Every structure is written in structure tokens, then in C-alpha cells.
Amino acid sequence: MNTVSSPASLDRDLAAIVGASHVSSTAFDINGIVPAVVVHPGSAEEVGAVLRLANERALVVAPAGGLTRQQIGGVPERIDILLSTARLNKIEEYDPGDLTIAVAAGMPFAEMQRRLGEHQQWVPCDAANLERSTIGGLLATGAAGPLKSTFGHMRDFLIGIQFVTTDGKVVKGGGRVVKNVAGYDLMKLLTGSYGSLAVMTRANFKVFPRPRQTRTFICSFHSLEETLQFRTRLFQSPLTPMCMEIISPRAMEYLRNPGPVHDPDDYVPEQPLSLPAEEWQVVLRAAGSDNVLARYARELGTAVTRTLEGVREEQFWRWISHFEQSVLARHQNAMVMYTHLAIQSVGPALQAMERAAPDYNLIPAAVGRAATGNLVLAFLPLSVDPPSAMQYANCVSAFRGMLPPGSSAEVAHCPMEAKHHFDVWGTTPTDVNMMRAVKRAIDPKNILNRGRFIV
């Protein structure tokens, strides 16, 4: 673990901006690198002053929210300043009648959701660790969960954004009304940029009425082929479920409370489901009236092996969202990958996982969005002794080599020593040269999250 020392002059200058009580040191590391100093600005203007100082001195800055996804990405060269948004933590404006809300970027998502819940409204996102994950962090990392199947990504209902550039300017994009037509779509530019372009300080969302009742239907199959055939029939049916997940046989044992990495405030007493461990599952969550839910039961027919509702249903979907956390709690040497696929490539990707893992002493397990191509793949060590760094690297290469054209797969988690042997982001179908040009234009000195993202 590498620690960068912080000169006393930097501490003094940061204290002059945010106050001495909001400058500290930390033992927290990002991929083995411990930041030299942590600073907690209390406003967008203070964020701007910190970034201006860092830019003038060519200091590397890592923006941080709830610290739930900081280990994703490459190994940073160094981190001079960890810029925490923890003090940017309030609801700026909320109008239930207009179905809009404006929130400071450092607010934990669950706090915003609880406030919306008072009016039977929500922002439909069910990514992991929502008690700790901040609004800005979720947007910056492009985090999503099973609800993405129907509602899309958080950026799809983001209507306005405020952020700070490395030269200290506070910039706004979009607004507070649902219909915005104003210049470049800066919201989509920053979403998924992993804090490499600017620091988000505020976000405006359109919100939705919360479903009054839901029900979950679990359908079991003996093989992946039968599972995919059933998924095809669902696509051709009139059913429009909120979520549609595909779960591999080995993944079922990790659909449980993940343990110490799970926030205690989000804990539900464990009641494991008794489902056949050797079978594949397609799981649908539907919302609607009694008649609508009854139609789901009729249309799905004998494929349904279990129905969930109420507390058990909420618990089950929380487990799906926390699948990778459950894996990592039990296997510190596990490798977790995220895929970005065309819908027709889900089957080939799962087959590729099943073929690649055993060749490198790894066991495959998968959970993911059957209708969007976003899978969470876990490669589990076969024994107490983990594979070598090169075996992880060769497994990644083999798996990526079997994916259909236009697919991509990023390594979200793996042993630290393995990250030095491959590109965690892999190839991307997007225009990397354009991404580099945007990075140079917005952050010419490359001070934001240097070495972590694709560019």
C-alpha cells in the first residue's frame, strides 16, 4: 500500500478554503494508493477553490462520495487530494406536484428516496449500497440495478446538473423542468465518467409515482438453452415486467445478506430461498392491479416455481442488487466483471463465461439484466489458494475473446496484483480518440482521477 505525504503548506491552504476541521488524513486506499490529504468542501464554490488550487499545482484529485465504488478502475499513479462531497448533503428543492427534485451530489441516495417515499414517489434505481452511495457517486460510476430493464439508467431521468471544472468554474446543464432543450447534453457526458472530467455538486431529477403493489415470479430451467428460449418467448409476449433477471445455478448461494460489507441500516433478517441449486432461473418482477398480476401468473404458467411478495420480495431483490458484495464478502480473491452487450449476445456471453472459468481454476456465477445485456459475472477461486495474477489475466483475455463483436466487459474487482497484467476496462466500441479529446479540453492537466478511467 502506497501513501503520498502531504506537505504542511497544502494542508494550510486547503484549511484556508474549507476550514481546518474539514481537512484530514485517512487510512482509506484506492487500489492500494492512500490519498495524501482528505478535504470536505461545503459548497460548489469551495469545490471550485480546491480544484483551482490543485490545478495550479498539478496535484491529482480523486472525487469521492460514499466510498462504495472507489476500487473499480485502474491503479492510480498517486492521489494528492481526496475530495469528499460528504458535506454537500441536502435536498435543494422538491416539488411533489411537479414531480421534480434537486439534490446536492453528496446526499446518500436512500435519504432522497425516503423523502420521496413520503409522497409515494421514487427515483427508480436499485443499485447496491444505496444507504451509503451518494447521488454524485451513482451518476459518476453509471451504477444501476435490476430496475434498469424497464426504467433505464439514472441519467435517463436526470434533467439538470451542476458541476465544477478543474479551473474552478461552476457550470450548469439542463434545468429543473422535464423538457429541456439547451445546448450540449452535459448530463450524459458526465454520467459514467468516473469523476475524470469534473466534480458533480448537484443533480435535478424527474420522479415517478411508486408502484402500489408488485409480485415476483421465479421460473426454473434445467439448462441455459431452455432459459434463453423462455426469455425469447417473454420478449414476444405482451408482458412488460419491471425487472427480468437471469441467474446461473452457482449464483443462487450468494443471494443472501452479504455480511460485513453490507450496511447495517439496510439489513434484513436472512430467510434463504429453497430453490434447486443446479437450475437456471429467470426472475420477473411485475407491478399493477390484481388483474394484471393474475395475468402474469396465467401467461407464465407452469414455468413458475416460486412467487414472492411483500417483505420476502423486497429482500430477494435486495440480494440480487448486492450479488457482487455477497461474493466479495466470501471470496476476497474473486474476480467480478460487468458486461455491456446486445440483447442477443447474452447467451453467448454466459456460454463464454462457463467455458473460460474452469480453464483457469475459477468457478463461474452470474446474475444480470436479461433484457439489457448488463450482466454481473463472478469468477470464484476453486480452492483456498487463488489463481496466479497471470491466470486471472489469461481468463479475462479468453473470455473477452469469445464475446460477440460490439461487446465489452470491464473488470470491476480482482486481486490487486492482477490489475497490473491487463486493462481492466478492455476494448470499448465507443470512440476513444473523441473521449481523449474531451478529457484534454475539460481537464488539460489530467488532475482528476488520473489513471483510473479509460482516458
pLDDT in tens, 266-297: 444 455 566 666 899 999 999 999 999 999 99
The model's pLDDT over 223-266, given as tens digits with 9 standing for 90+, comes to 999 999 999 999 999 999 999 999 999 999 999 766 544 444 44
DSSP state for residue 61 in the 8-state scheme:
E
Taking residue 64's Cβ as centre, other Cβ atoms within 10 Å add up to 28
pLDDT at 261: 42
Residues 6+ apart with CB under 8 A from 32: 1, 2, 75, 416
> 346-356 vs 389-401: helix axis angle to the nearest 10?
150
Among the listed residues 377, 333, 340, the one whose alpha carbon sits nearest the alpha carbon of residue 355: 377
pLDDT at 263: 44
> Does the pLDDT of residue 100 top 90, yes or no?
yes
pLDDT at 429: 59
143 within 8 A of 69, measured Cβ to Cβ: yes
Domains in the chain and their CATH numbers?
A: 2-84 (3.30.43.10), 91-209 (3.30.465.10), 211-320 (3.30.70.3450), 331-424 (3.30.70.2740)
Instruction: List alpha helices for 29-106, DSSP H.
Output: 44-57
For the ranges 185-194, 226-235, 391-400, which has the lowest average pLDDT?
A: 185-194
Report how far Cα 393 is from the mean position of its chain's Cα atoms. 23
The residues facing 34 across adjacent strands are: 3
Among the listed residues 415, 365, 411, the one whose alpha carbon sits nearest the alpha carbon of residue 385: 415
pLDDT at 271: 59
> Which letter, b or e, does each residue of 247-271 get, where b requires 16 or more Cβ atoms within 10 Å of its Cβ?
bbbbbbebbbbbeeebbeebeeeee
Instruction: List alpha helices for 118-185, DSSP H.
Output: 135-141, 148-151
Cell numbers at 110, concatenated:
436512500
